[in-house]
Homo-oligomer: A and B are copies of this chain.
């Protein structure tokens, strides 16, 4: 078997943890497997480097920031190779240059274009554990780039795809994907399997275990992803195209408190209004999520939408600056809202799933502000204060508890 294992910054935060991860990888190696390890920078390193940069330049050029930041993963991989050597196993560390992990030139947020597999293959054939820097690449001019958020996961999946690995294991501080957040839903259960699409919907809704980009890449190349804990040996959750487990109606319930709702009140009821509104917002780089449009009492239109916390002020500013063009009466912002979603490939073939969710909320006397659906997801906007109660009510209603 060829296994790619990815460990994040907390898993290699200090020399002791580096030794622990080394031991864990060696177990798989000693069973005769080929092992590739992808690492992030040791925890805090990244923050320290950014802090250092800001001491000479408040707005450091992105190329130079990438040049600086990528030293973090290089330290991790060299340390890991040394740890494995201390444990008597042959290992070799490789950075993005040495692998030739080619990306676009968007410093700070580059996209992987190609991974050459010769060097990794050569070292594996030599029976070495291969340790690769996550998060980084080089562009065609040999300049160093970084992949942006979730970058190390993406590196791991891309290497697994390039080498046709049997599995790509992502080690995190949770031991798998749960039917709901265990911190607010005591009955939450770890899923054995989940489809890529379900995971994509869960991730974008704030489950936060895996970055969408890596799940999308895994789906595209058919890489079997496993989410596991770096703290214990439990089995984790397997992500694949089709799951074998008997289908529950839905797979999980997600709550996202990071959204704000903005309402634009009293727009003219005429064609092109929605276009003009969202064109303004797109140009201001606002990430729009749920959208609701309704006809007001006096023949005008109201448009409401949700956006991430961080974007709300910019959205208000952009809309106000364009009041002359958009002709609205007033703006309203509600920061105390939450998105509650149910996700499940099973709901495609089962009508009545949404109704069942609404019923559960109605029974708890929880008000629904907005509704949005996709093929495998139903999302409602509720008051933030109702969040925990809502998750548990829906989780129970669909019989997800153990």
Which A residues lie at the B interface, using CB under 8 A? 15, 18-19, 22, 49, 52-53, 55-58, 60-61, 63-65, 67-68, 70-71, 74-75, 77-79, 81-83, 85-86, 92-93, 95, 97-98, 119, 142-143
B97 x A55 contact (CB < 8 A): no
Q: How far is the CB of A253 from chain B (nearest CB, A)?
A: 42
Contact A49 B75 (CB under 8 A): yes
**In the complex, residue of chain B having the shortest beta-carbon distance to the beta carbon of A119:** B142
Query: Within the assembled complex, what's the spacing in Å between the Cα atoms of A78 and B53?
Result: 9
Asked if B75 contacts A52 (CB within 8 A), the reply is: yes
Inter-chain contacts of A70 with B (CB < 8 A): 74
In this complex, what residue of B is CB-closest to A18?
A: B56
C-alpha gap A143/B68 in the complex (Å): 19
Other CB < 8 Å A-B pairs besides A57-B83, A68-B78, 10 of them? A49-B75, A52-B75, A57-B82, A64-B78, A64-B81, A64-B85, A65-B78, A67-B93, A67-B95, A71-B78
Distance from A125 Cβ to chain B, minimum over Cβ atoms (Å): 15
Contacts of A77 in B (CB 8 A): 67
The distance in angstroms between the C-alpha atoms of A95 and B74, with both chains bound, is 13
Contact between B71 and A74 (Cβ–Cβ < 8 Å)?
Answer: yes
CB distance from A116 to the nearest CB of B (A): 11
18 contacts between A and B (CB under 8 A): A18-B56, A53-B79, A53-B82, A56-B79, A57-B83, A58-B86, A61-B85, A63-B92, A64-B93, A65-B82, A67-B74, A67-B93, A68-B78, A68-B82, A70-B74, A74-B74, A98-B143, A119-B142
- Residues of B near A61 (CB, < 8 A) are 81-82, 85
Q: Is the CB of B15 within 8 A of A55?
A: yes
CB of A85 within 8 A of CB of B98, answer: no
Rounded to whole angstroms, the CA-CA distance of A85 and B64 in the bound complex is: 10
Decide: B97 and A82 in contact? CB cutoff 8 A. no
If the complex has contacts A49-B75, A79-B68, are A56 and B92 also in contact, measured as CB distance less than 8 A?
no
Would you call B83 and A56 a contact (CB within 8 A)?
yes
Given the complex, which residues of B lie within 8 Å of A95, measured CB to CB? 67
Known A52-B79, A79-B52; contact A85-B57, beta-carbon cutoff 8 A: yes
> Which B residue's beta carbon lies closest to that of A67?
B78
B68–A74 touching, CB < 8 Å:
yes
How near does chain B come to A385, taking the closest CB pair, in angstroms?
45
Residues of B with C-beta under 8 A to A57:
82-83, 85-86
Interfacial chain B residues near A49, Cβ < 8 Å: 75
Task: List 8 A-B pairs, minimum CB-CB distance, nearest first.
Answer: A15-B55, A68-B78, A71-B71, A57-B86, A67-B78, A57-B82, A56-B83, A60-B82
When distances are taken between beta carbons in the complex, the residues of chain B under 8 Å from A63 are: 92
**How far, in Å, is A45 (CB) from chain B's closest CB?**
10
Expressed in whole angstroms, the Cα–Cα distance for A21 and B212 within the complex equals: 43
In the complex, the answer to whether B93 meets A56 with C-beta atoms within 8 Å is: no
A75 touches B81 (CB 8 A): no
- Distance (whole angstroms) from the CB of A133 to the closest CB of chain B: 10
Shortest C-beta distance, A240 to chain B (Å), equals 35
Residues of B within 8 A of A97 (CB): 97, 142
Q: Name the B residues within 8 Å of A64 (CB-CB).
A: 78, 81-82, 85, 93
